Amino acid sequence: MYSVFRRWLFQLAPEQAHAAGFAAAQVAQIFARRDVQERFSYASPVLSQRLAGIYFPNPVGLAAGFDKDARLLPFWELMGLGYVEAGSVTAHRSRGNARPRAFRLPLDSAIINRMGLPNQGARRVARRIARVHKQCRIPLGISLANSHAPHAEVVAAADDYRRSFMRLAPLADYVTLNISCPNTAHGKTFEHPPSLNVLLEVIFRQRAAQQLDIPVFLKLSPPASARIVFDSQIEEILSIGQFYGVHGYIACNTASDRVGLQTGAAALAEIGAGGLSGPPLRARSVHLVRYLYRRLQSGQVILGVGGIDSALAAYEMIRAGASLVQLYTGLVYKGPEVVRAINEGLVALCARDGLGSIADAVGTDAAQ
């Protein structure tokens, strides 16, 4: 079914296709709730987990960037997702970069984007979530980033996150700090350890001031390759995270390089700069997840994202150490059916391996 729809969608520019898909989902969310739910949702006790105090009905979530302004929260549950990460939201509304800013790479089933975090800003998104979040029974994560301000110093940029946190954290089940997006002075990300220290100090102080018990996750950049030996920067990030009590890590964001693609050099040159997502990212995400699993304390949650588009890909990520997975590009190429296919496949893979719960699979290949 999606393959027919996709043929039409792929005639449109990626952002137009995204808008068309959203419009269809908005209609379905109102007029065809039961049909959508019957077709897409799937439940099994094998898939549910309680992590960081949150109940997840299944481990497959929507990655940040797909529903930046939280427009479709009730729809994602109907579609069978186990949780949603809205955002990234910034304190100020942003139009993002000039178009075109998203490109499909069909030969690689991948995407390159340089969206530049277009979003309606924390105040407006908070108002929308406040209206609908009671109708949404799956966990809601909200990803925060800092407003684009090329000359902002670290302290001002951290305060930008704080203002978004103040408005949005009371409405969410968890908050992700998108520290891997180069929307900061001179293109540096908040993964730079001294900057991360400032950011976490500000956020955890705000969290205490609001007496919120909400888990805070950090989203990381991908490693340069799937074989890299991790350096002291990631060690420092984890130590700083440990000091402030960060509850989990998301691995990973898009890659700025173009390693391992089938798409030709001329086509890539025409596209230009941007973050690469989809299957070419998967091995690197798995590599980082494995490292995190070996390095982190039990109780800290790992969310694996990058090229998840099948049950086998999700299972590999989970066995590497991720308790939860997320997807973006897989949805674009495979459509909404992919969520149910992943969940059904995970149950079958657990049965094949004699596991009573998906939680029993987490980290079983982390030593590799």
Nearer to ligand FMN, 13 or 32 (CB): 13
How far apart are CB 28 and ligand FMN at their closest, in Å? 22
Nearer to ligand FMN, 197 or 254 (CB): 254
What is the spatial distance between Cα 59 and Cα 81, in angstroms, rounded to a whole number?
A: 8
How far apart are CB 98 and ligand FMN at their closest, in Å? 15
What is the spatial distance between Cα 240 and Cα 57, in angstroms, rounded to a whole number?
A: 31
Q: What are 124's two structure tokens?
A: 């407006």
Nearer to ligand FMN, 135 or 253 (CB): 253
Nearer to ligand FMN, 18 or 133 (CB): 18
What is the spatial distance between Cα 111 and Cα 331, in angstroms, rounded to a whole number?
A: 11
How far apart are CB 321 and ligand FMN at their closest, in Å? 17
Nearer to ligand FMN, 51 or 145 (CB): 145
Nearer to ligand FMN, 117 or 158 (CB): 117
Q: What are 18's two structure tokens?
A: 């995204």
How far apart are CB 31 and ligand FMN at their closest, in Å? 28
How far apart are CB 2 and ligand FMN at their closest, in Å? 16
What is the spatial distance between Cα 95 and Cα 196, in angstroms, rounded to a whole number?
A: 26
CB atoms within 10 A of CB 23: 10
Q: Which residues bind ligand FMN (CB under 6 A)?
A: 63-65, 68, 88, 102, 111, 113, 115, 117, 143, 178, 219, 253-254, 277-278, 281, 305-308, 327-330
Nearer to ligand FMN, 197 or 253 (CB): 253
Q: What are 212's two structure tokens?
A: 């919120």
Q: Determine the residue type at 280.
A: P
How far apart are CB 68 and ligand FMN at their closest, in Å? 6
What 3-state DSSP class applies to 97? coil
What is the spatial distance between Cα 209 and Cα 207, in angstroms, rounded to a whole number?
A: 5
Nearer to ligand FMN, 69 or 297 (CB): 69
360 touches 346 (CB < 8 A): no
DSSP letter, residue 229: P
What is the spatial distance between Cα 280 and Cα 226, in angstroms, rounded to a whole number?
A: 11
DSSP string across 59-112: SEEEPTTTTTT---HHHHHHTT-SEEEEEEE-SS-B--SPSP-EEEEGGGTEEE
How far apart are CB 299 and ligand FMN at their closest, in Å? 23
Q: Determine the residue type at 332.
A: V
CB atoms within 10 A of CB 359: 18
Nearer to ligand FMN, 143 or 147 (CB): 143
What is the spatial distance between Cα 190 and Cα 196, in angstroms, rounded to a whole number?
A: 5
Separation in Å, CA 240 to CA 155, 229, 233, 234: 17, 20, 11, 10
How far apart are CB 221 and ligand FMN at their closest, in Å? 10
Q: What are 186's two structure tokens?
A: 């001179």
How far apart are CB 6 and ligand FMN at their closest, in Å? 16
Give the residue closest to ligand FMN by C-beta: 65
